[in-house]
């Protein structure tokens, strides 16, 4: 069974940085595209970043472009999100999610999420 476990969330001041990690197991991580999706305290879901299996195709939502960087290490079965210049509105649960193999752009496995709180 596929499993995704996020870590690295926490409380940070506006303008600060955090690095999230997502450890994958139970599937061929190196063959799969991966994403970060966040959910605000009001329960709104927002896709924020995509990376394909070879790391040669990357997309970002406009809301995080230039501030967040997605990356992966297939040897370590791990996905990362470097978050810089954090803002209050970045407060959310952050999920890593696997792209559906036959429907890239849908998310068939999700982690349990890690909470990022941006506040002074």
Partner 1 sequence: EIVLTQSPATLSLSPGERATLSCRASQNVDNYLAWYQQKPGQAPRLLIYDASYRATGIPGRFSGSGSGTDFTLTISSLEPEDFALYYCQQRKNRQTFGQGTKLEIK
Residue window 31-50: x/- pattern of binding to partner 1, with contact defined by CB under 8 A: ----x-------xxxxx---
- DSSP for 57-119, please give it: -EEE-TTTTTTEEEEEEGGGTEEEEEE-S--GGG-EEEEEEEEETTEEEEEEEE---EEEEE-
27 binds partner 1, rule: CB under 8 A: no
The least distance separating partner 1 from the CB of residue 38, rounded to whole angstroms, comes to 11
* DSSP letter (8 states) at residue 26: S
Question: What's the rounded Cα separation, in Å, for the pair 87 and 117?
Answer: 9
The least distance separating partner 1 from the CB of residue 111, rounded to whole angstroms, comes to 7
Closest CA to 71 of 39, 96, 46: 96
Q: Which of residues 55-114 bind partner 1 (CB under 8 A)?
A: 59, 61, 95, 97, 100, 103-108, 110-113
The least distance separating partner 1 from the CB of residue 62, rounded to whole angstroms, comes to 8
- Give the residue with the Cβ less far from partner 1, 17 or 106: 106
Judged by the rule CB under 8 A, the positions of this chain that interact with partner 1 are 35, 43-47, 59, 61, 95, 97, 100, 103-108, 110-113
């Amino acid at each position: 069974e596929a499993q995704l476990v996020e870590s690295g969330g926490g409380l940070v001041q506006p303008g600060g940085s955090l690095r999230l990690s997502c450890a994958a197991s139970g599937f061929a991580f190196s063959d799969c595209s991966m994403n970060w999706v966040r959910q605000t305290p009001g329960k709104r879901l927002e896709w924020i970043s995509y990376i394909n299996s070879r790391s040669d195709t990357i997309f970002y939502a406009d809301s995080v472009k230039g501030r967040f960087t997605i990356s992966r290490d297939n040897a370590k079965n791990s996905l990362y999100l470097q978050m810089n210049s954090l803002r209050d509105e970045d407060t959310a649960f952050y999920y890593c999610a696997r792209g559906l193999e036959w429907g890239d752009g849908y998310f068939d496995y999700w982690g349990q999420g890690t909470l990022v709180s941006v506040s002074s």
